[in-house]
Chain A
Amino acid sequence: MTQQNRLQSGGRIDRSKPLTFTYNGKQFSGFQGDTLASAMLANGIDVVGRSFKYSRPRGIVACGAEEPNAVLQLGATEATQVPNVRATQQELFNGLVSASTNGWPSVDNDVMGLMGKVGGSMMPPGFYYKTFMFPQSLWDTYESMIRKAAGLGRSPLESDPDTYDNVNQHCDVMIVGAGPAGLAAALTAARGGARVIIADEQNEFGGSLLNTKETLDGKPAAEWVNAVVAELATFEDVMMLPRSTVNGYHDHNFVTIHERCTDHLADIAPVNQARQKLHRVRAKWVVLATGAHERPLVFSNNDVPGCMVSNAVSTYINRYGVVPGNELVLMTTNDYGYQAALDWDDAGRKVVAIVDTRASGCGARAEEARKRGLNIITGSAVIEVQGSKRVSGVSVAAISADGGKVIGSVTKLKTDTVASSGGWSPVIHLSSHTGSRPTWDDKIVGFVPGPTVQKQLTAGGINGQYDTAVALKQGFDAGQKALTETGLSAAEVVLPKAETLKSDTPMTLFHIPHIKPTSAAPKQFVDYQTDVTAAGIEVACREGYESIEHVKRYTAMGFGTDQGKLGNINGMAVAAKALNKTIPETGTTIFRPNYTPISFGAIAGRNCGSLFDPERYSAMHKWHVEHGAKFEDVGQWKRPWYFPQGNETMQESLDRECLAVRDSVGILDASTLGKIDVQGKDAREFLGRVYSNAWAKLAVGKCRYGLMCGEDGMVFDDGVSACLGDNHFVMTTTTGGAARVLEWLEIYHQTEWPELEVYFNTVTDHWSTLTISGPNSRKLLSELTDYDLSNDNFKFMDWKQMKVAGVPARVFRISFTGELSFEINVQANYGTHVWEKLFEAGKKYNLTPYGTETMHILRAEKGFIIAGQDTDGSVHPYDLGMGWCVSNQKPFSYIGKRGMNREDCVRPNRKQLVGLKTKDPKAVIPEGAQAVLDPKAPIPMPMEGHVTSSYWSANLGHSIAMGFIKGGLDKMGETVFYPLADGTVIEAEICSPIFLDPKGERQNV
């Protein structure tokens, strides 16, 4: 297909390398060096999307990150779909597949567009608030309609085939932007010996110098760029990152850079290459040389395809050899704007008129235009555009000197392209990210970076300095300053000589008047992407929104994926005029990271899939896997959940495991329990202060269960500690609580009681813990040890040092199942050996491995709590019916004592933990179910408590549950009801939570 708008020569494209690409299913061609946008313009594609709210056809208006309309969907396959790609920033590659994102059924024939034509009355600002909020019950319906109608692209439905990387970097000087200012700064800093990173969002360095016909030292500017880039490449400590957008500037000079490594090559990254990288940079100094974006003017129908900012017109001509139309009308408030007309004229196409809003233009460019005999209409403005899918003409009229109203008659001109320039807006986004408020500068008619606490320097366009000579000098100065500040010595750099064009005073004008009042004039767009008009902003102000932040939220101005890069200042100006304030009084909204959209892939890097979170395994993990265990995540641990055999259902496995333990013997891998070694002459005193019960008299060789409370008296962890020696204990914690408990001990020791001589160390991973439980556990263990395991020699709650299966072991006779139990602790690397020896000997006892779920059931049969399941930070030991585990005799006011005596903690009718026996023995109450006294009470029913643990007990032949009931300990035998979501109600009797062996005889044999 022909590229009708492509020039025969010129630009930085390679005409010897043609490329093909697809847009909305049709094939087009372009060249190496094109962006998707320049290739689309070369092919005469006018409509690139439909607008968000009014569904008006939209075309390309800009040439970089600020583009609001050409936001496309990319991807040749489902897995490679990428939304939110600005065609102006996407380099063309062979086979690129793109599609517009708005418009149904298509961008060219859009049903929703009718709605836009019906006009403003149907969709006023605040439209969503006003229209869709009531009745609230219909919101879901509205939402799906709105989503279908609006939407800016979609995420892929399949997994991303590419890999992404996160990289940490440190440097002396981070330079953002590689235009004249950035390059001068980089060269200076590099020559001074600094570690430099310079990043630029474009595919090559040079910034504005790539788009112009300017010369440096009398030669094309690109030659200087090439020389600088070549020199920078010779420095070992300089990292150059093209195609890298600095997306965020955070505190402490932390900068995030989104590098698109292979997005310009193909749909999928080449093998073994990361598609994108997120560089996380910590810089001593940051130089912002981010340049400026040109502001379009706001006039009626300024969104018709063919309306562009003037600088974009120049860029497409000079850099890509594309003239985006045949005839040009240019409207400008300043001398820079004339450049587009000069470039258009150079390209050999017709300049219909240059409309200067000022009484006269006397800058160098204006004079050149005059010399060429171009038609210049001064003191006038383009007040309206004609056309729908492409500009067909404009209305021009004289305006008052302040730009406030139309004063002359209207002339119509025929044209297909309208360029406008309202001056430049410095790209201050990054400087705002750290909380610095921008400052308005009347001279440059724009915001510049405000005061900051960051070690930040700025140079060039961001300061409102648009002359290349000034930008170079400011870049050099920033480089020198960074060198001095980082303790390096100044560098020598001779800057090239730039042409300085005579400029003149720009006019401060944003919003072009119309013969009709703004409210009645054809739509004058401020923010293209969110469809915000000047009239809309006026309405918002009239309806009482005075703060610019409120106007923003009411109208949605600046809420698009472009963050209103083109429109925000114009919007503020319109609001300021409506509020009768100045722009600085109105203020600006705050830009936030990210500067341009970033993929989730780049943020996640390698932190996905199996690398998302570390997994912890016990020493016997391999055995569990080989024996078909299903696993459960407990903290970072993978714990066996249950061990299904054959075609067993989960419940069948649990029943079998539960019965095996109570009938013979089972084994649990309890290695994941937290283990903290506590030593020192004050270890015993310390335990007494952090546990609610007494520790003073625990003899060497004994174990004791303890509850750990917060200062508020609420239980937060529990476990058994063993006294290994007078000055030596080993504490166990819950699996998930280990790290928290260790820190808890440390903080009290270090900040409150440093006088206590005590030391803590985590030994969780040092030990494998194998718990055998059941009536045959003693017989089993005796086959692997010579030690006398008789009840006389080795009592319940004792621990003994012995050899088990030939290796040294600490065996604790404690029980979480209520059965005779031995917890065998061996050095972790002996774990599997002992585990396997137990199975060899255990065959005749039907030794059965069980997991966490069976452990939960068995302990619930005994009414033992699990901290974190039966506690939630709002229950103290008495609420749990565990007053036996609280000592009031201890001289020291241990942690939790004062807290659990607060007024609210001792009041009657607190929720207390009780057992629940369902009337229907087969009914298992869902955990979390709420208790009520009267299931027929009107909704909302008064709630009496909830269920925390609930299981089917194969041993008992009925369900068992534990839960909280208000005043429950005094309500034994009473009935409560659990109404469920499906309308059924489970009736239960309040009982003791100890369902099995209430006297504890089974563990004491």
Chain B
Amino acid sequence: MFHIYCPHCAEYREEEEFHAAGQAHIPRPLDPEACSDKEWGEYMFFRKNPRGIHHELWVHAAGCRKFFNMTRNTQTYEIKEVYKIGEQPSVVAE
């Protein structure tokens, strides 16, 4: 019904092929053993819950199976942009 643009397939596809996989841009610490319990806990559990612009990880699960990033407005649900893993968003919160 609702169409989401997959940056890997380079076309709009049915929303049911996708699902969200949490907040984007949370890199796994390169040296986990050097992390304190607090730092590791923040990496594992602490997530933003903004009203407005939010960067999320999505996956084209029933399509190309690739992950990508999506910038979305959590208030209006508007999708601002999608971009590949490793890329940076061009739309950010003020």
Provide the bound-state CA to CA distance between A751 and B57, in Å: 10
- Are A898 and B35 neighbours in the complex by a CB distance under 8 Å? yes
Per-residue CB proximity of B53-84 to A under 8 Å, as 1/0? 00001010100011100000001111000000
Per-residue CB proximity of A873-912 to B under 8 Å, as 1/0? 0000000000000000000010001110011000000000
Decide if B37 is an interface residue (CB 8 Å cutoff). Answer: yes
Number of B residues near A (Cβ < 8 Å) is 27
Nearest-CB distance from A969 to chain B (Å)? 24
- Are B33 and A898 neighbours in the complex by a CB distance under 8 Å? yes
- Are B1 and A747 neighbours in the complex by a CB distance under 8 Å? no
Provide the bound-state CA to CA distance between A254 and B40, in Å: 41
- Are A747 and B67 neighbours in the complex by a CB distance under 8 Å? yes
Decide if B11 is an interface residue (CB 8 Å cutoff). Answer: no
Decide if A920 is an interface residue (CB 8 Å cutoff). Answer: no
- Are B67 and A893 neighbours in the complex by a CB distance under 8 Å? no
Whether A282 contacts B1 in the complex (CB less than 8 A), given A746-B67, A751-B85, A898-B33, comes out as: yes
The residues of A that contact B59 with a CB separation of less than 8 Å are 743, 746-747
- Are A254 and B44 neighbours in the complex by a CB distance under 8 Å? no
Q: Which of A453, A747, A898, A899 has the most CB of B within 10 A?
A: A898
Provide the bound-state CA to CA distance between A984 and B45, in Å: 42
Nearest-CB distance from A593 to chain B (Å)? 15
The residues of B that contact A168 with a CB separation of less than 8 Å are 1
Whether A453 contacts B1 in the complex (CB less than 8 A), given A711-B43, A747-B59, A750-B85, comes out as: no
Decide if B32 is an interface residue (CB 8 Å cutoff). Answer: yes
Provide the bound-state CA to CA distance between A251 and B76, in Å: 8
Decide if A712 is an interface residue (CB 8 Å cutoff). Answer: yes
Provide the bound-state CA to CA distance between A711 and B1, in Å: 35
- Are B1 and A751 neighbours in the complex by a CB distance under 8 Å? no
Provide the bound-state CA to CA distance between A747 and B21, in Å: 9
Decide if A752 is an interface residue (CB 8 Å cutoff). Answer: yes
Q: Which of B1, B31, B41 has the most CB of A within 10 A?
A: B1
List CB contacts (< 8 Å) of A272-290 with chain B. Answer: 280, 282
Provide the bound-state CA to CA distance between A944 and B85, in Å: 46
Whether A743 contacts B61 in the complex (CB less than 8 A), given A453-B76, A712-B44, A899-B44, comes out as: yes
- Are B2 and A899 neighbours in the complex by a CB distance under 8 Å? no
The residues of A that contact B43 with a CB separation of less than 8 Å are 711
List CB contacts (< 8 Å) of A217-234 with chain B. Answer: none
Decide if A754 is an interface residue (CB 8 Å cutoff). Answer: yes
Among B3, B32, B65, B78, point to the contact of A897 (Cβ < 8 A): B32
- Are B85 and A754 neighbours in the complex by a CB distance under 8 Å? yes
The residue on B at minimum CB distance from A170 is: B1
Whether A711 contacts B44 in the complex (CB less than 8 A), given A251-B77, A754-B86, comes out as: yes
Nearest-CB distance from A110 to chain B (Å)? 47
Q: Which of B27, B31, B77 has the most CB of A within 10 A?
A: B77
Per-residue CB proximity of A168-192 to B under 8 Å, as 1/0? 1010000000000000000000000
- Are A752 and B27 neighbours in the complex by a CB distance under 8 Å? yes
- Are B32 and A751 neighbours in the complex by a CB distance under 8 Å? no
Whether A893 contacts B31 in the complex (CB less than 8 A), given A282-B1, A750-B67, comes out as: yes
Beyond A282-B3, A747-B57, A754-B85, 19 additional contacts (C-beta under 8 Å) are A170-B1, A252-B77, A252-B78, A280-B1, A282-B1, A282-B2, A435-B75, A453-B78, A711-B43, A743-B21, A743-B61, A750-B66, A750-B85, A751-B85, A752-B27, A893-B32, A898-B32, A898-B33, A898-B35
B residues whose Cβ falls under 8 Å from a Cβ of A: 1-3, 21, 27-28, 31-33, 35, 37, 40-41, 43-44, 57, 59, 61, 65-67, 75-78, 85-86
Instruction: Return 27 A-B CB contacts under 8 Å, by A number.
Output: A170-B1, A252-B2, A254-B2, A282-B2, A282-B3, A453-B76, A711-B44, A712-B44, A743-B21, A743-B61, A746-B59, A746-B67, A747-B21, A747-B67, A750-B67, A751-B57, A752-B27, A752-B28, A754-B85, A754-B86, A893-B32, A897-B32, A897-B33, A898-B32, A899-B40, A899-B44, A902-B41
A residues whose Cβ falls under 8 Å from a Cβ of B: 168, 170, 251-252, 254, 280, 282, 435, 453, 711-712, 743, 746-747, 750-752, 754, 893, 897-899, 902-903
